[in-house]
Amino acid sequence: MSSLDLPHDLTDGLGVEAAVPISGGDTAAAYRLATAGGPLFAKTMADPPAGMMAVEVAGLHALREHTPEVLGVPEVVRWNDRGIVLEWIEEADGRRSPGTEEEFGRGLAALHRAQGEAFGALDPELPGRIGSFEVDMSPTQDWAAFLLERRIRPLAQKAVGSGRIDPRAADVVEELAPRARELAGPEEAPTLVHGDLWAGNRLVDVHGRNWLIDPSAYWGHREVDIAMMLLFGGFGQECLAAYHVEHPLAPGWEERVPWYQLPPLLVHAVRFGGAYGDATMRALRRLQQ
């Protein structure tokens, strides 16, 4: 594929010699760009939601600023409303080891020590999003209310409205709502979270260094990232063990995991239904016990 197939304002001046399509997820087209200065990564979307790329770029900049040296975050080379060009990360298939897992856990614990003034968006001028869905990300000091009223409740209503989940889901959320503070856990200062930390958004390069990609970053609660890591798996036991040594989670965090997993489960239920709707209902039933 030629660079002519990519938006000109995204690639002009980069000396792109070829653009080879690669796997890039289910919502974007991704490419390995060959340039005289070395390979680059490009991701484009034909009609992305307004502000989606700006939110990702803000997240990458924030992570680069606050992430310790042991974790890499790709540099933004160029971006516009329809795409982004990043430094290339040469992955090493199967390179993950007890050592890389332990190092990732320590690095994530260090990242989670970065604190903000309020829960919410990195930049109040940017639109609030969880995936492609709009959400209220205006600053607040009340994390428990943020999680319930801006994440779980509206997403449950959207999921029920889509017809892809048991219609009782929204009723169970309302049944659990009086326990929102208990389920959110002890109060902590706003923490910089990746916001979409499943295993596919963590890479290990040929040198054994861990990288964070595709953030949906904001000032939140660190159990957001922990719950997401546990939802889809792919992180070794050494990872959480090292995390707990460096930055122990508050007692009872295991019981709070289903509450924190509801937002990503509900997003997937809206988009795909089926097993994700069933998984959401299982999480809700666990919380009822």
Measured between alpha carbons, how far is residue 127 from residues 9, 101, 160 in Å?
Answer: 23, 33, 24
205 annotated active-site:
no
* CA–CA gap between residue 83 and residue 43 (Å, rounded): 5
**Secondary structure element (H or E) that encloses residue 145, with its range:** helix 143-145
CA 170, 172, 178, 183 torsion-angle sign:
negative
For 11-64, give the DSSP string. HTTS-EEEEEEE---SSSEEEEEEETT--EEEEE-SSPPTTHHHHHHHHHHHHH
179 Cβ partners below 8 Å, 6+ apart?
A: none
75 Cβ partners below 8 Å, 6+ apart?
A: 64, 86, 87
Catalytic residue of the set 196, 214, 225, 278: 196
Residue 9's SS3 state is helix
The residues annotated as belonging to the active site are 196
